[in-house]
Structure 1
């Protein structure tokens, strides 16, 4: 997300290097570029106008302090104004109510509501230790109820059954009674979507809202619709008392216009980002962290939190003890680390939070794709246990066999071994720390040793 906007903004700031003061003249071109970058990112025009005016007012005449360059001053101002546009802080879910706390999910068809219900259920169970139940009031879309049933089983949430011949408000009432009777802490309700906003749809969801009286009414919207996402959210808010927004499919959105438009146009905070298809791919929305990612500063805090939540601590401890005792770091360990990355939503998702990754060459980003990591895992899987433990024995004939067995070329095996050698050297320097210590030891640098090498 934000790749295009990040590249444009960082290129604009570079042009200000060497200036002693930000003036009307030298900032004019820079602001024009910032304006174009925001418009190309599909940010709503009123939002762009107000943003540029605020940056101009603050930037012109600001002295360059100490060793700061004008570019750094402008970055600071843009960063602070981006935070202002998206909201000053994370807007947490309000669950402070007599249980069950009801969360109603609304949105257009295809926005990702049902998947977001499951993602939110998993997040509440894992992060807040809540007893969660989900129910589908979507009696129109074929297999919608069955889809939610399967997802509920996957994330370990209670599922309240419903059928397509029931009225949505009847389902809602029965689910609420069941949740109260069985001491559920949170009830998440999926509703029907339409291809467009219509009176019938709004009347139905208003009836469901009246029955449930939810503490949270979240609008689920596809980020790839750009500024239209904000317009649609505004239309929903006129008919429903929305409390926040869940922005989905952000992993496929290189522009980010929706994230920068919604808060200012609707006045409603973005509460969560959907960052992938897996049920674990949901992140709380922190305006300051997102602003840092837009400006290429990364989001190390979210990255460390994600690691703490999702890294298998028992395996990490065993690896740390193994390295500490000097028994070495082998290809079994290397494979385990790559598989852990995939479990955490993919290496590209992790690297997106690393400082400077937005400005990395396109070839490097391509090599960070999950399919490349899976290919490397396949190569290791084609090795014998002895070869994984003692990589030095992998020579000519063994390389040919491994390449053939994994459907790759010998040069691919050579690249893997070279990459493993780099990771092994890094682990020797980080004795006793394992995966987490290696990450912290990078101190903001790109983890080149954990990336697949760029093909010539």
Structure 2
């Protein structure tokens, strides 16, 4: 989403670094470019104006002028200003008080409320809470069925509402239902409209009056740009909105909503949707988002994803197998499955410092299906072949290729990559050193097999 903005900022910073000493004149010139970049990213014009003014006040002072690295000092100032613009720090959900705590999701039709309800339930369950889902949208066809299906996938309780009930009655009865099922959190999916109207607001006010929710989260579509900010302002004026969930942040919108909502409405962004799967919901960290926008990566998020994806005991067991040289193709497959849990390879690469703006990355074609083909090849093998790859001869390779819908060449590439991985780990565990020629061959093999 922020690729274009990142590129523009990087261009400005490179220009500043080219000056041995900064003057008020070249700083003002750079800030004009920054303001233009923000406006092109669909940031609210008042927000862009105030943002540039804040940077200007700090950049023309002694803090920058007297610095040995003025260009880097300006980057630091912009980073801090962007972080403050988006809220400063992550704002957690307020789940204090006697259970069940109630979270009501509101927003326009099509913003992704129902899917967000499922994602939020999954997120809370990972944090050792027991949520209950409440379908209170009695107008949209199949809305109740959709949330009920999501609850079934998550194996979580769902209140059995029906379209002939009033939404405020559904929510009231759902509180008793949650207590009976020992749930500590109630997630309410409300109805939306194609536009903001008094009927919608009155209904939401009645729901708010009945359950007095700890959290009333506005679900806004980031793809709508400045319209998302306008919607947030309208809901905030009519209701007690405590935070925003910005959906579709993985899309190709320009990112203005993420940069403007907090400044315009005062409501913090608490979560962002970064995909269609139920685990594609992230806590919004303004400092990390600022770091991504400026091309400095987001290593902390990668670490958190890795901690969720990789089990500590499994990692220790894998290290033992590497040490004993008993790493099998089954273990190789398990490692690939763990990698897939981190998300798309392209999204992970963009979180690495500097990777988001590299021209090489833009030219790179990331083949996500390569991991699927690899798993299919290993699954087509017999258990004996997975345990001992050395027995796989030409006839077995042909059978494996047919069974996995791949070619013998792809089977050979997989086996070479597997053997290279084993050889590399033997060296890391204290084995022999690889020659330069061997390293070069190995690099070519890995490049030929892996999706980038």
TM-score, normalised relative to structure 2:
0.86
Query: Distance in 2 between the 1:235 and 1:15 partners?
Result: 40
Q: Deviations over 1:313-335 (max 9, x none)?
A: 443332111012233x4543333
Tell me what 1:272 maps to: 271
Corresponding residue for 1:189?
A: 188
Partner SS state of residue 252, structure 1: coil
Cα–Cα, structure 1 residues 367 and 189, in superposed 2: closer, same or farther, change >3 Å?
same
C-alpha separation between the residues in 1 aligned to 2:198 and 2:341?
A: 42
Change (3 A) 1:426 1:295: farther
User: 2:83–2:287: 8 Å Cα contact kept in structure 1?
Assistant: yes
Residues 330 and 72 (structure 1 numbering): CA distance in 2 closer, same or farther, change over 3 Å? farther
When residues 31 and 176 of structure 1 are mapped into structure 2, their CA distance, relative to the original with a 3 A threshold, is same
**Per the alignment, do residues 429 and 161 of structure 1 end up closer, same or farther by CA in structure 2, a change over 3 Å counting?**
farther
Distance of aligned partners of 1:416 and 1:165 in 2 relative to their CA distance in 1, 3 Å threshold? same
**TM alignment of 1:312-323, pairs within 5 A:** 312-323=311-322
Equivalent residue for 2:333, pick from 313, 332, 335: 335
* Greater Cα shift, 7-16 or 286-295: 7-16
Q: Deviations over 1:85-129 (max 9, x none)?
A: 0011111100112211111100111111111111111111211x1
Structure-2 residue corresponding to 1:436 = none
Residue 427 and residue 347 in structure 1: after superposition, are their counterparts in 2 closer, same or farther (change >3 A)?
A: farther
Q: What displacement does 1:153 show?
A: 2.1
SS where residue 250 of structure 2 aligns?
helix
Residues 45 and 388 of structure 1, relative CA distance in 2, 3 Å threshold: farther
Partner of 1:21: 21
Q: CA deviation at 1:172?
A: 1.1
Residue 434 of structure 2 corresponds to which residue in structure 1?
none
- Pair 323,254 (structure 1): closer, same or farther in 2 beyond 3 Å: farther
Partner of 2:108: 108
Gaps of at least 5 residues in structure 2 are 431-444
Q: Which moved more, 1:162-171 or 1:301-310?
A: 301-310
Who is 2:80 aligned against? 80
CA distance in 2, matches of 1:34, 1:207: 44
Deviations 1:180-232 (A, max 9, x none): 45443111111001111111111111111111110110000111111211111
Q: What secondary structure does 2:187 align onto?
A: strand
Indicate conservation of the 8 Å contact 1:373/1:452, yes or no: no
Per the TM alignment, residue 245 of structure 1 is displaced from its structure 2 partner at its CA by 0.3
Cα separation, partners in 2 of 1:195 and 1:405, compared to 1, 3 Å: same
Q: Contact (CA 8 Å) 1:139, 1:192: kept in 2 or not?
A: yes
Instruction: Name 1:445's counterpart in structure 2.
Output: none
* 1:250 match: secondary structure: coil
1:12 Cα shift? Answer: 2.4
CA distance in 1, matches of 2:223, 2:364: 21
Please state how far the C-alpha of 1:10 moved relative to its aligned partner: 1.7
- Seen in structure 2, the aligned counterparts of structure 1 residues 256 and 402 have a Cα distance that, compared at 3 Å, is farther
TM-score (normalizing by structure 1): 0.86
Which residue number corresponds to residue 153 of structure 1? 152
Instruction: State the alpha-carbon separation in 2 of the partners of residues 271 and 112 from structure 1.
Output: 15
How far 1:42 sits from its partner (Å)? 1.7
Higher radius of gyration, 1 or 2: 2
Equivalent position SS for 2:220: strand
Asked whether the 8 Å contact 1:223–1:259 carries over to 2, the reply is: yes
1:221 and 1:248 in contact (8 A); partners too: yes
8 Å contact 1:320–1:431 — kept in the other structure?
A: no
Distance 1:178 1:402, change over 3 A: closer
Partner Cα distance (1:395, 1:72) in 2: 58
Residue 132 of structure 1, CA deviation: 1.4
Number of the residue aligned with 1:200: 199
User: 2:171, 2:207 within 8 Å by CA — same for their partners in 1?
Assistant: yes
Any idea what SS the aligned residue of 2:204 has? Answer: helix
Q: 2:413·2:448 contact (CA, 8 Å) conserved in 1?
A: no
Match of 1:63 in 2: 65
Structure 1 residue ranges without an equivalent (≥5): 433-447
Count of aligned positions: 436
Provide the secondary structure at the position in 1 that maps to 2:77. Answer: helix
39 and 449 in structure 1: CA distance in 2 versus 1, 3 angstrom threshold: farther
Q: Deviations over 1:241-272 (max 9, x none)?
A: 10000111112245322111110011000001
Structure 2 counterpart of 1:97 = 97
Q: Secondary structure at the match of 1:72?
A: helix
Return closer, same or farther for 1:71/1:180 CA change in 2, 3 Å cut-off. same
Q: CA-atom RMSD, angstroms?
A: 2.9
Q: What's the offset of the Cα at 1:405?
A: 5.0
Change (3 A) 1:235 1:117: same
Q: How does 1:287-366 map to 2 (within 5 A)?
A: 287-327=286-326, 329-361=327-359, 366=364
Alpha-carbon separation, structure 2, partners of 1:28 and 1:249: 34
How many angstroms apart in 2 are the aligned matches of 1:399 and 1:154? 37
Q: How does 1:178-257 map to 2 (within 5 A)?
A: 178-253=177-252, 255-257=254-256
Would you say the 8 A contact 1:227–1:257 is kept in 2? yes
Instruction: Classify 1:57/1:418 alpha carbon distance in 2 versus 1 (closer, same or farther; 3 Å).
Output: farther
